[in-house]
Amino acid sequence: MTYIPDLHHTHLREYPQPTVAQLKESTAVPRRAPVHEGREELAVGLWYFVPRQRTPGDYAIYRPSSFVALPSEHDIRRDIRLLTPDDTVALSSTRPALDQGVHMLVPTTATEQFDMSELRRTVEAVLFEFLEQKTHGPDGPLMGTMFDVLRDFLGGGGKRVRPLYCCLGWGSFGNAPLDATVLRAAAGLELFHTFALVHDDLIDRSDSRHNRPTAHHAFAARSPHARATWFGESAAVLLGDLCEVWSAELLGGLGKAPERAVVRQLLDRMRGELIIGQYLDLLASGDDCGSVENALQVIHYKTTKYTVERPMQIGAALAGAGPDHLEACAAYARPLGEAFQMYDDLEDVVVDGERPGTDGCDLREGKHTVVLALALRHARPAAAERLRKLVGDPALSEQELAEARALIAATGAPDMVRGMVVQRRLEALTILEKAPFHPTAKDALRRLTDLAVPGVERW
């Protein structure tokens, strides 16, 4: 990956019709940003060259705070190198991205196919622009390490599932083009999720996430103190709190008067539900592996509500959806949220060629999952006793971890859970077919359903 200077929108007047090379050479601001090259996009700093959705063959360059349009003759669909350094770019007027009157090029649901990859990039652009404003704000110089850890954490390969469901909730009611309001909400939900993950990693004593150090380990590695572990854990608590505060800032006061109260109510309930789910998960970890019903209750609060249902309802409410529409969002979310979490839990106990298992962190911490509860229910007494001794031991060796997985597999529990995942996926898709959603959003939700539980259609 190479790095080049970034160009800020306030300096566009310097190049009334700049070439790509001039954009690359601009030194309007000192910070630097990565350049990514892909099949259908080229990023220059934080500028992205992408196909415009409404006009085939017409392309645009955009960044969080502005956009500029490429003439239609610049066809970069097949070979990014067709866009040469001598090509010129016609600039359009710009306004700040977080302003309600934004003129930024964004993905629109008013197309035959919703581009979720482009949406992820757009939400990330809004989110990082918000953080950039905080970096250059009056308190920015005091929080250099905190910003570094947060950027690394956000850059760790998250799926941005909650922002996607928020935007698809918006598109499900009326299919209006996405605007700055819903993008701000989507970015706020991702920061809220970051708050939850940072604290969850600390509670679970996790060492890594997406092959990167967790926030408390990242802080400890940067600690100026002799008590590095204490510093790292304390700083991670504060970072999580800060993400929640900034999430509230992004999510506060969104929508017009009729929708604002509904959105506020949904946000308040989501915040409380997440904490309840986390507490129930904490209660269920340890010696008592509990029942299937208790495990599903944890999933209901910690995954279904906060991952699918509330984000989707928030997006739909911002678009003006009423109670019946919001209930349809919830009906679709319930079985899908359960399928999503049970699928994820399987990865900790099943190792195969297609979907290798994790490092066994759920088994080592004694996490209360449906697959573990089923295994203990169906195991012979001696096997159940041995499994209880293994599960919940943070010092579990690789040999003991393999033994625990073998004991679980012998009960048939993984196959039972696979059947439950298949059933709930089909239930979610059946509800989706009958839901009063716009056809374009329905199509995107079908694809997102299969992205949430990849490969299940072949089980």
pLDDT number for residue 21: 54
pLDDT number for residue 32: 30
Taking 3-state DSSP, the helix, strand and coil percentages for the chain, each rounded to the nearest 5, stand at: 60, 5, 35
Length of the chain: 459
Say what percent of the chain tops pLDDT 70. Answer: 73
Say what percent of the chain tops pLDDT 90. Answer: 53
d(CA 14, CA 362): 55
Q: Which of helix, strand or coil describes residue 171?
A: helix
pLDDT number for residue 58: 38
**pLDDT for 454 beyond 70:** yes
For 21, 77, 126, the CA distances from 244, given in Å and listed in that order, are 40, 39, 17
- Crossing angle of the two packed helices 398-410 and 413-434, in degrees rounded to 10: 70
Q: What is the mean pLDDT of the chain?
A: 77
246: left (phi over 0), alpha (psi -120 to 50) or beta: alpha
**pLDDT for 27 beyond 70:** no
pLDDT number for residue 335: 96
- How is the chain split into domains, by residue range? 3-77+87-91, 116-348+419-458
Close Cβ partners of 130 (under 8 Å, ≥ 6 residues apart): 98, 187, 246, 250
Looking at domain 116-348+419-458, what is its CATH homologous superfamily? Farnesyl Diphosphate Synthase (1.10.600.10)
Give residue 294's identity as a one-letter amino acid code: N
**pLDDT for 59 beyond 60:** no
pLDDT number for residue 350: 85
pLDDT number for residue 368: 87
Average of pLDDT values for 372-386? 95
Average of pLDDT values for 318-331? 97
**pLDDT for 30 beyond 60:** no
d(CA 276, CA 272): 6
351: left (phi over 0), alpha (psi -120 to 50) or beta: beta
Condensed to tens digits (0 to 9), the pLDDT of residues 326-349 reads 999 999 999 999 999 999 999 888
Cβ atoms 48, 61 nearer than 8 A: yes
Condensed to tens digits (0 to 9), the pLDDT of residues 133-142 reads 999 999 998 9
Provide the greatest CA pair distance for the chain. Answer: 78
pLDDT number for residue 447: 92
**pLDDT for 15 beyond 70:** no
Top pLDDT among 6 and 297 is at 297
pLDDT number for residue 287: 56
Condensed to tens digits (0 to 9), the pLDDT of residues 348-363 reads 888 764 454 466 788 8
* Angle formed at CA 396 by CA 233 and CA 281, multiple of 5 degrees: 55
Give whichever of 47-51, 83-87, 290-294, 323-327 has the largest mean pLDDT: 323-327
DSSP string, 64-98: TTEEEEE-TT---SS-GGGS-TT-B-EE-----TT
Condensed to tens digits (0 to 9), the pLDDT of residues 70-114 reads 333 333 332 223 334 444 444 333 323 333 322 233 333 334 457
* Angle formed at CA 199 by CA 247 and CA 182, multiple of 5 degrees: 20
Confidence category of residue 8, pLDDT binned at 50, 70, 90: very low
Report residue 186 CA to chain centroid gap.
9
pLDDT number for residue 352: 62
pLDDT number for residue 394: 85
Average of pLDDT values for 187-204? 94
pLDDT number for residue 430: 96
Condensed to tens digits (0 to 9), the pLDDT of residues 262-292 reads 999 999 999 999 999 999 888 877 656 678 9
Cβ atoms 346, 295 nearer than 8 A: no
Helix (H) or strand (E) holding 222: none
Q: Which of 106-115, 239-248, 257-266 has the lowest mean pLDDT?
A: 106-115
Q: Which of 51-60, 144-153, 304-313 has the lowest mean pLDDT?
A: 51-60
Q: Which two tokens stand for residue 381?
A: 């007494």
Top pLDDT among 452 and 56 is at 452
pLDDT number for residue 67: 32
If you search the block for the tokens 């509230």, which residue do you land on? 248
If you search the block for the tokens 């939400």, which residue do you land on? 123
Q: Model pTM?
A: 0.74
Long-range Cβ contact pairs of 446-454 (< 8 A, separation 24 or more): 447/116, 448/116, 448/161, 448/164, 448/165, 448/168, 449/336, 449/425, 451/116, 451/159, 452/161, 452/336, 452/339, 452/340, 452/343, 453/339, 453/340, 453/343, 453/421, 453/425
**pLDDT for 228 beyond 80:** yes
Confidence category of residue 20, pLDDT binned at 50, 70, 90: low
**pLDDT for 192 beyond 60:** yes
Q: Which two tokens stand for residue 32?
A: 């630097």
